[in-house]
Structure 1
Amino acid sequence: MRVFLLEDDDAISMGLKYSLEKEGYEVTNAESVMQAKKLWQRDCFDICILDINLPDGNGYDVCKFIKEKEDVPVIFLTASDAEVNVVMGLEMGADDYICKPFRINELMARIRTVLRRAGKRDVDVSAGDTTVEKLGNISIYKSEAKVTMRNEETGDETNVELTALEYRLLLTFCNNKNVVLSRNQLLQDMWDVGGDFVNDNTLTVYIKRLRDKIEQDPSNPQIIRTVRGMGYIVDG
């Protein structure tokens, strides 16, 4: 699934590209209206994420240009949720909008929704068990961003309510089974577009909160295990 990203802020564009590629999307990034139009003249994409305020124009112009060529889903990034901005974007043919600052998980959910409405197959939507990861009695349904815990005695599953950063931390462990992750590696992976600053002390808090929610005995964790002097590991 190919994503066209138009964003002139380097920090945001790099973070978004990194997060989208981790979810399996192929991302092409442009930083200006001129560059965006040149890319569209020689390539095609499945969905567009467009910033509104750009150095040589605005995302509305690019949206109009794209819609004249092809009916591709568009999500606007806007620094303001003022009604005039929202209405103008929707009248231009946009399918959705999201206000800065935003959570990565929220954007991912909106992308999946827009792709489903457009009849396009999302990277996370597949048959079988490939969208479900198992960690002990924990099940992670990636296509729904949902986590459940199975009761060992009854076999019943209950939802585990995680914050966006807790969920991202769990996914990081899930995607690196049998690999010892250092605290520095975990900190680098917990970048957040919403502006949440995660330092070493905050990471300790998040790991504790996550263990409290998914471990049978948080004082003796069996899912997220500590490797002394090195970091943490989750067994495959």
Structure 2
Amino acid sequence: MNNILLIEDDLSLVNGLTFALKKQGFKLEVARMLKEAENLWTDGKYDLLVLDVALPDGTGFEFCKKVRRTSKVPIIFLTAADEEMDIIMGLDIGGDDYITKPFKLGVLISRINALLRRTNDFSTEGTMLQSNGIKVFLLQGQAFKNDRLLELTAAEYKLLCLFMRNPNVVLTKEQILDRLWDCNGNYIDSSTLTVYMRRLRIKIEDNPGEPKMLLTVRGMGYKWNVID
């Protein structure tokens, strides 16, 4: 049974989500304030976090940053903050998905299931990927460049694995989004993938402004270029 931590201050929404998620077989714990969430949080205790952005004593963004210092647990923002900059910030600090209110319950549950399934797939299959001085140890969920540990979020790690599994193959944006999130790409803002690519390049490329490994193929998509 997957254990979810919901951080949300709207009591009516908490009650509705508690009923719906437990009906789907999830175990759920709820925090209505940031302080409560910090008291509940322990790395390894939860399989997924669902965070509101605006909380009485802080923001979900603050909590996400703290969690990402030590954990790759999947994080979904569920919030009324629907400005493009809010979405970009949520993803840029380590969120794996961003859903704006109002939302359809079926969509939320599908995306929770998809994110849990993809996380499980990436953490349990195979042994190691190696290319361009980068090694990914799949069982441990860690990536190294020239024997230096890369501090990757869960989404960055999955994106890196996807490209390294498909060397020298052009992947369209639709293929990438479908593979990573297992849902219609239309649910995800068009800038989402650009944010992930920029963030991943900063961490793996010697010169992110002139990437050699993670290439943009104009009008088509992206490619992992094997250079060694």
TM-score, scaled relative to structure 2: 0.51
User: Identity, % of aligned pairs?
Assistant: 40
From the CA coordinates, give the structure whose radius of gyration is larger. 1
Report if aligned partners of 2:43, 2:70 keep a CA contact under 8 Å in 1: no
Please state how far the C-alpha of 1:24 moved relative to its aligned partner: 0.1
Count residues with an aligned counterpart: 121
In 2, the alpha carbon distance for the partners of 1:93 and 1:116 equals 18
Question: For residues 103-147 of structure 1, what are the alpha-carbon distances to aligned partners after superposition, in whole Å with 9 as ceiling and x for unaligned?
Answer: 1101001101211221269xxxxxxxxxxxxxxxxxxxxxxxxxx
Could you tell me which residue of structure 2 aligns to residue 165 of structure 1?
Answer: none
Could you tell me which residue of structure 2 aligns to residue 100 of structure 1?
Answer: 101
Query: Secondary structure at 2:103's aligned position in 1?
Result: coil
Could you tell me which residue of structure 2 aligns to residue 23 of structure 1?
Answer: 24
Could you tell me which residue of structure 1 aligns to residue 168 of structure 2?
Answer: none
In 2, the alpha carbon distance for the partners of 1:112 and 1:41 equals 22
Report if aligned partners of 1:7, 1:29 keep a CA contact under 8 Å in 2: yes
Query: Secondary structure at 1:3's aligned position in 2?
Result: strand
Report if aligned partners of 1:37, 1:65 keep a CA contact under 8 Å in 2: no
Q: Which runs of 5+ in 1 are unaligned?
A: 122-236
Could you tell me which residue of structure 1 aligns to residue 170 of structure 2?
Answer: none
Letter in 2 for 1:32: M
Report runs of 4+ in structure 1 exceeding 6 Å deviation. none
Could you tell me which residue of structure 2 aligns to residue 2 of structure 1?
Answer: 3
The CA RMSD measured in Å over matched residues stands at: 1.7
Aligned CA distance change for structure 1 residues 87 and 11 (closer, same or farther; 3 Å): same
Please state how far the C-alpha of 1:4 moved relative to its aligned partner: 0.5
Please state how far the C-alpha of 1:81 moved relative to its aligned partner: 2.1
Please state how far the C-alpha of 1:82 moved relative to its aligned partner: 1.2
Aligned CA distance change for structure 1 residues 41 and 117 (closer, same or farther; 3 Å): closer
Could you tell me which residue of structure 2 aligns to residue 78 of structure 1?
Answer: 79
Question: For residues 46-74 of structure 1, what are the alpha-carbon distances to aligned partners after superposition, in whole Å with 9 as ceiling and x for unaligned?
Answer: 00000000000000011111122211000
Query: Secondary structure at 1:69's aligned position in 2?
Result: coil
Could you tell me which residue of structure 1 aligns to residue 61 of structure 2?
Answer: 60
In 2, the alpha carbon distance for the partners of 1:8 and 1:120 equals 32
In 1, the alpha carbon distance for the partners of 2:108 and 2:121 equals 17
Aligned CA distance change for structure 1 residues 22 and 65 (closer, same or farther; 3 Å): same
Query: Secondary structure at 1:75's aligned position in 2?
Result: strand
In 1, the alpha carbon distance for the partners of 2:49 and 2:20 equals 15
Could you tell me which residue of structure 2 aligns to residue 48 of structure 1?
Answer: 49
What is the 5 A alignment of 1:171-210? none
Could you tell me which residue of structure 1 aligns to residue 119 of structure 2?
Answer: 118
In 1, the alpha carbon distance for the partners of 2:67 and 2:43 equals 12
Please state how far the C-alpha of 1:20 moved relative to its aligned partner: 0.2
Query: Secondary structure at 2:69's aligned position in 1?
Result: helix
Query: Secondary structure at 1:18's aligned position in 2?
Result: helix
Query: Secondary structure at 2:61's aligned position in 1?
Result: helix
Please state how far the C-alpha of 1:42 moved relative to its aligned partner: 8.4
